[in-house]
Amino acid sequence: MLSSKSGAEVHRENRSSRWPAFRHQLVQRRQYIALLKQKRSAFWTERINAEQAYPCRLWRSFDELFGRGFAPALMPFLFVTAFVQATHRTSGHPSSFQRLV
């Protein structure tokens, strides 16, 4: 038997029946994000307070905190190797470049 409700009415009912679960999930996510921020803040505050007497460690912690890491020494070699392989795959690589490899 066909329902007498329109598509919009059915959609509205489905949406309203899912709202409490969605709302609960939204609240849980906000609580998780707040807890994560609190724990990060506590971690870095404790770490910086503990390393105040050691300037080298303190600067290393700041670099880590701000994401200022150093690339491994192998990375430039990998880049050059990939670049050389890519240029050799092209049909017309310059002959002067072949001498470098």
DSSP symbols for 14-77: HHHHHHHHHHHHHHHHHHHHHHHHHHHHHHHHHHHHHTTT-HHHHHHHHHHHTT-----THHHH
> How large is the average pLDDT for residues 80-98?
64
Q: Report yes or no on 2 lying in a domain.
A: no
Q: Report yes or no on 1 lying in a domain.
A: no
Pair 66, 40 in one domain: yes
The share of the chain scoring above pLDDT 90, in percent, equals 24
Pair 34, 21 in one domain: yes
Distance CA 17, CA 14 (A): 5
Total of domains in the chain = 2
Distance CA 42, CA 62 (A): 15
Q: Which residue has the higher pLDDT, 15 or 53?
A: 53
> How large is the average pLDDT for residues 72-79?
63
With 60 as the cut, is the pLDDT of residue 2 above it?
A: no
Length of the chain, in residues = 101
Q: Residue 42 is part of which domain span?
A: 9-70
pTM of the model: 0.45
Q: Report yes or no on 22 lying in a domain.
A: yes
Q: Which residue has the higher pLDDT, 14 or 60?
A: 60
pLDDT band at 19 (very low <50, low <70, confident <90, very high): confident
DSSP character for 90? S
Pair 99, 76 in one domain: yes
